[in-house]
């Protein structure tokens, strides 16, 4: 992928999730301008009137602080979702949205409305973190470590009573985290995968590079002169062998002076 394609893909990923966050801000702006509360569109567990909150609850926030705290991580996690998992990003986001809402409606406290996108944020956080561990792909592992660094404290939000005074829906956090883990496992074969390097088998290697045959050819070439000489001598007739003269051998004997002289010589 070229640099321009990477840039365009990143921009489009940021734009998609940016539009969703803009809708959240538009809803909050209408509440402030009209001086109304849309909390009634949230999730009311085990009540038929609360089912609509499965769709609308993530768009509604109790305060600007609540909206800001969800907007920043949702933008980062959502952009990464559309960047790394473009082919299934909408499916993953939709299931994170709906599963979290449905499970909150089934298992959360039944006396209060649950609103806000924190459940979706927890779902995407868990999805990215677990996906990086399962796939062991370098970029996803690095992103998982970044999530741990930035949002590691989010883990305390899944426990009841963590911030009672702020009336935080810990059920949304817990259900979102569970949904993210389930989706990470379900879509483990989608998106970037770790590269697996395969070395050729020994038989395939010999077929491609016939080392043994090459080595045999070298040996035959080196021994060829000696073998030809032996064959020549073996095939030579006996008469030809008998006609060959013995090599002349000259022996020189040194006799020291004064020894073995004939008698009578001085």
Is the separation of the CB atoms in 170 and 109 below 8 Å?
no
pLDDT score at 264: 46
CA distance 227 to 149: 75
Calculate mean pLDDT across residues 1-6: 78
User: What is the residue extent of each domain of the chain?
Assistant: 3-186, 202-240
201-236 pLDDT, tens digit each: 555 555 555 555 545 554 555 455 666 666 666 666
Q: Residue 243 pLDDT more than 80?
A: no
| pTM (2 d.p.) | 0.70
Give 246's pLDDT tier (boundaries 50, 70, 90): low
CA distance 50 to 29: 23
* Chain centroid to CA 239: 82
Calculate mean pLDDT across residues 75-99: 94
pLDDT score at 192: 66
Calculate mean pLDDT across residues 20-49: 95
* Residues facing 114 on adjacent strands: 43
Please report, for residues 31, 58, 100, 185, the alpha-carbon distance to residue 178 in angstroms, rounded to integers and kept in the order given. 31, 17, 8, 11
pLDDT score at 200: 59
Q: Residue 265 pLDDT more than 50?
A: no
44 backbone dihedrals φ, ψ, rounded to 5°:
-110, 105
Calculate mean pLDDT across residues 89-113: 93
pLDDT score at 42: 95
- Give the count of beta carbons closer than 10 Å to the beta carbon of residue 238: 7
125 backbone dihedrals φ, ψ, rounded to 5°:
-60, -50
**Percent of the chain residues topping a pLDDT of 70:** 68
Is the separation of the CB atoms in 176 and 165 below 8 Å?
no
Instruction: List the CATH code of the domain at 3-186.
Output: 1.20.1540
């Amino acid at each position: 992928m070229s640099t321009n394609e990477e840039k365009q893909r990143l921009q489009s990923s940021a734009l998609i999730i940016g539009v969703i966050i803009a809708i959240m801000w538009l809803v909050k702006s209408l509440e402030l301008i009209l001086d109304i509360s849309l909390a009634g569109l949230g999730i009311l567990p085990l009540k038929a009137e609360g089912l609509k909150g499965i769709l609308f609850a993530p768009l509604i926030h109790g305060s600007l602080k609540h909206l800001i705290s969800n907007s920043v991580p949702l933008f980062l996690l959502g952009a990464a979702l559309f960047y790394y998992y473009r082919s299934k990003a909408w499916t993953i986001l939709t299931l994170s949205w709906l599963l979290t809402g449905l499970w909150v409606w089934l298992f959360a406290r039944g006396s209060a409305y649950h609103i806000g996108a924190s459940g979706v944020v927890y779902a995407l956080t868990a999805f990215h973190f677990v996906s990086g561990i399962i796939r062991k792909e370098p970029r996803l592992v690095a992103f998982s470590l970044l999530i741990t660094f930035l949002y590691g404290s989010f883990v305390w939000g899944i426990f009841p009573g963590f911030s009672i005074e702020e009336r935080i829906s810990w059920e949304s956090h817990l259900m979102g985290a569970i949904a993210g883990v389930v989706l990470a496992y379900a879509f483990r074969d989608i998106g970037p995968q770790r590269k697996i390097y395969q070395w050729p088998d020994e038989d395939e290697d010999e077929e491609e590079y016939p080392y043994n045959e090459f080595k045999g050819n070298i040996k035959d070439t080196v021994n060829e002169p000696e073998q030809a000489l032996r064959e020549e001598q073996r095939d030579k007739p006996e008469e030809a062998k008998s006609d060959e003269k013995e090599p002349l051998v000259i022996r020189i004997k040194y006799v020291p002076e004064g020894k073995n002289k004939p008698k009578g010589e001085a």
